[in-house]
A and B are shown apart, each in its own frame.
Chain A
C-alpha cells in the first residue's frame, strides 16, 4: 500500500527521557513534514524537509531535532521530554511542485509524558 507510515503508534515515557519517532513514505514525494496536534485538535507545523534539506523550522524548542536520511524518511528525536510535549505528532508528505494536491498524513504517534 502506498502510504505515510509512522512508528510507534503510541509512546508512553517518563519526564526527562529521550525518544524518537520514525516516519517513512513510499509515495515518491520530495517533501516531508512534522505537525503537532494538541489536546484541542489544533495542528501546528514544526518542521519540513525538501529532498533532505530543512526548509521550514518553526519556533520549536531545540530539544526537538528532526533528521532526514533520505527523501523517503523523516525522523523526530526529542530530548529531555517534558509534560507539555504530550500530544499527537503527525508526519506528512507532499510533492512541493504539486503542493496544491495536498498532503498525505500518517496515522499519528500519541506521545504521553508522565
Chain B
C-alpha cells in the first residue's frame, strides 16, 4: 500500500491548456516536495511546501499544501511542451529525512 496516491497517472494535453495533478494521503507530513523527472535523469526538486494551507508559485506552476498537511496539488497554467515529464510528489515523514514518493503522474504536452 502506497502512502501517497497521485492522480491522474497519465495526462496528455495540448499546448496552452491548464492541468492539475493531485497528491493525497491519510498521513500527515512535515513537508511535501514536488519533483520532475525526465527520461534518463534523476528527479529534480521543483518546490517544498511546509505549512498547512501554503501556496507557492514557480512561474506558471502553482503548488498548494492542504490545511491538514495530508495532501497537495500542482497546477500548471498554459502548459508548454517543455513541461512534459514525470511529476512526483514526496512526503517527509520523520526526522531522518525519509521521503516517501507517490507513483508519479506522466504529463505529455503536445504542440
Contact = CB atoms under 8 A, between A and B. Distances in A.
A103 B35 CA distance: 10
B7 interface: no
Given A43-B101, A100-B31, A106 B96 contact: no
B92 interface: yes
Interface in B41-96: 41-45, 48, 50, 86, 88, 90, 92, 96
A42 B101 contact: yes
Contacts of B86: 41
Nearest to B46: A102
Interface stretch (A12-20, A48-56, A64-72, A75-83): A48-56
Contact of A45 (B41, B44, B99): B99
A18 B109 CA distance: 41
A44 B48 contact: no
A7 interface: no
Contact of A105 (B40, B44, B96, B97): B44
- Most chain A CB within 10 A, of B31, B33, B42, B97, is at B97
Contacts of A31: 97
Contact of A107 (B33, B41, B48): B41
A45 B42 CA distance: 14
B96 A108 contact: no
Contacts of A99: 31, 92, 97
A92 interface: yes
Contact of A42 (B31, B50, B104): B104
Nearest to A92: B42
Interface of A: 4, 31, 33, 40-45, 48, 50, 55-56, 90, 92, 94, 96, 99-108
Given A55-B96, A103-B33, 9 more contacts: A42-B2, A45-B100, A48-B98, A56-B96, A56-B97, A102-B45, A103-B99, A105-B42, A107-B42
5 contacts: A50-B96, A56-B96, A96-B96, A104-B45, A108-B40
